[in-house]
Amino acid sequence: MNRYYILGTLLMFILAGCITPPAYQAPAQQDSRPSDGGAVECRMVITEEPYVEEVCNQVSFTEQECDMKELNYTSGQIAVTDLCVDDGACVGKQLTECISTCKRAMKRCRLNITNIDKYSGTWVVGAAFGYNGASFVKNPQSQEIDPGKSHIFDFQQIYTLGSPPSSATCSVTVIYPAITKVCVDVEKTRIDCSNVTRLRAVETEVCD
């Protein structure tokens, strides 16, 4: 009987060692931080950035334009005077009165110029005298004449009478008519362009 009791006790111990319940294991804790493959939050951010823009505008301005203008004028007939200037009682008389006894005479030629323009200008007038094939060219005369005014250009030549005696000839001409620069203001337009710095909104995606 003791033998059976001992065998039964050993068998109970053997069975008890094989049926021991498993030890308790606590559940593993999860990491709250996102992993490399986790979700990413993105948003759109609006910022301002500068840029340069060419701006063109139409601008009005006044410009002076000038031109050379020949002034309008009128000239009268050449006024001619022939006087005896040498030989006694004939001196100072018209040459036609004592041409046969006069030894020296004077030819006087005059030309009247009238400025009929609205600008002042300078006229240059010359004269030439002739007698028995000889020619006498006088120095030109210049004169500034105001609008509406007149001036007489006066030329004289003394000469010796030949045989047979005769009076000298003369010619008076306008060598240079008056020319002046006339300027007027003219309204014009042009396109002016310049670079202007402006700001514009730029939308950018930002992810955290």
Find tokens 């308790």 and name the residue.
24
Q: How many CB atoms lie within 10 A of CB 115?
A: 22
| Res 26: pLDDT | 47
CATH architecture of 73-177: Sandwich (2.60)
d(CA 2, CA 9): 10
d(CA 208, CA 43): 9
> Which residue, among 76, 48, 41, has the nearest Cα to 151 in the 3D structure?
76
pLDDT digits (tens, 9 = 90+) for 80-134: 999 999 878 899 999 999 888 899 999 999 999 999 999 999 999 999 999 988 8
Length of the chain: 208
Residues of the chain with pLDDT under 50: 1, 18-19, 23-24, 26, 28, 30, 32-33
| Res 207: pLDDT | 86
H or E element in which residue 17 lies: helix 2-18
Domain ranges within the chain, ordered by starting residue: 43-65+185-207, 73-177
Residue 16 DSSP symbol: H
Distance of CA 125 to the CA centre of its chain: 38
